[in-house]
Amino acid sequence: MQVFTTAAELRAHVEAARGAGRRLALVPTMGALHEGHLQLVRAAAQDCDEVIVSVFVNPTQFNNPDDLRLYPRQPEQDAAALAPAGCTALFLPTVAEVYPQPTVLRFDFGPLEQVMEGAHRPGHFNGVATVVSKLFHLARPHRAYFGQKDFQQVAVVRQLIADLSFDLELVVYPTVRETDGLAMSSRNARLTPAARAAAPLIYQVLAQAATQVRQGVAPAEVQAAALAALAHEPQFTPEYVEVADAQTLQPVAGYEPGRAVVLCVAAHLAGVRLIDNIVV
Ligand code: PAF
């Protein structure tokens, strides 16, 4: 596995690989890698000749300075986990390398980002779209791998690829969970033992809500029950629960045959913000 810290090095590697007719995969990450990331890397290694993994805690997608400061960083551990998973090139740039000057361009994804993460984290998807665009330009992948845990991010990236005609295939893998149902997340590392013990409630609440949706319980009732169940656990401060159209991400008032809904949750647990979702 080669390690690149500059855009020029990565570009040269990509040019050579493309010139040799090799197929390139990109797995963009912010590091503190867990099994969910590694499954993406393994899948990418099955599909492509070169697997580029970026590890970059992107400051422009954080609207909370404490969240950025406390985001777990463990580049040496990440590098050690990546090679056996099939990563061939690790891109580990500094902030100055990715942002040699402040970006002026602003992304606006319309209704897609006016809900859930976009509504609660102003500027978040502008930062995601900025860095993902830069990574797509630098790594020029044939395929890019994302996890479904960030459901709205996947929708935004799909729109980005379509609107800017990026010549690549978006590959999305299901959320990887701990045995107790907690969605794997780099932020889980920040949970205290007591918070970690309480954390599976998010998935339990989502699973219960999914059952209610299948039974035809009205979305508003499903939402209220899920919020109440989360609020009942003193360590949790729920931020939102949404029953949304899985395509448009807009809240639904009822169910339509053949249209999937996605149940999305964001909650604070002892100072750590966690998100999760289930598609029904
Ligand atoms: O999902 C993430 O870890 C980040 O949002 C991404 C896609 C790497 C962009 O910084």
Going residue by residue through the chain (280 aa), what tens digit of pLDDT does each one get? 999 999 999 999 999 999 999 999 999 999 999 999 999 999 999 999 999 999 999 999 999 999 999 999 999 999 999 999 999 999 999 999 999 999 999 999 999 999 999 999 999 999 999 999 999 999 999 999 999 999 999 999 999 999 999 999 999 999 999 999 999 999 999 999 999 999 999 999 999 999 999 999 999 999 999 999 999 999 999 999 999 999 999 999 999 999 999 999 999 999 999 999 999 9
Q: Which of 27, 58, 168 to mutate to test the pocket of ligand 1 (most atoms within 8 A of CB)?
A: 58
Burial letters 239-277, b for 16+ CB under 10 A, else e: bbbbbbebeebeebeebeeeeebbbbbbbebeebbbbbb
Please check whether residues 113 and 209 belong to one and the same domain. no
Q: Write out the two tokens for 207.
A: 């699973």
Q: How far is the CA of 27 from the centre of ligand 1 (A)?
A: 9
Q: How many whole angstroms from 29 Cα to the centroid of ligand 1?
A: 5
User: What pLDDT does residue 204 have?
Assistant: 98
> Could you tell me if 200 and 158 lie in one domain?
no
Residue 178 lies in a domain: no
> Which of 265, 69, 68 lies closest to 150, judged by CA?
265
Q: Looking at the domain assignment, is residue 143 inside a domain? A: yes
In CATH, what number is assigned to the domain containing residue 249? 3.30.1300.10
CA of 132 to the centre of ligand 1 (A): 8
What is the number of domains present in the chain? 2
What pLDDT is recorded for position 48? 98
Q: What is the pLDDT of residue 33?
A: 98
Choose one of 129, 144, 173: the last residue of a domain: 173
For residue 28, the ligand 1 atom closest to its alpha carbon is: 8
Neighbouring residues of 119: CB distance < 8 A, sequence distance ≥ 6? 113
- Supply the residue whose CA is at minimum distance from atom 5 of ligand 1: 128
Same domain, 117 and 16: yes
Residue 275, helix vs strand vs coil: strand
**pTM confidence score:** 0.97
> Residue 221: which domain range?
186-279
Looking at residue 124, what is its pLDDT?
98
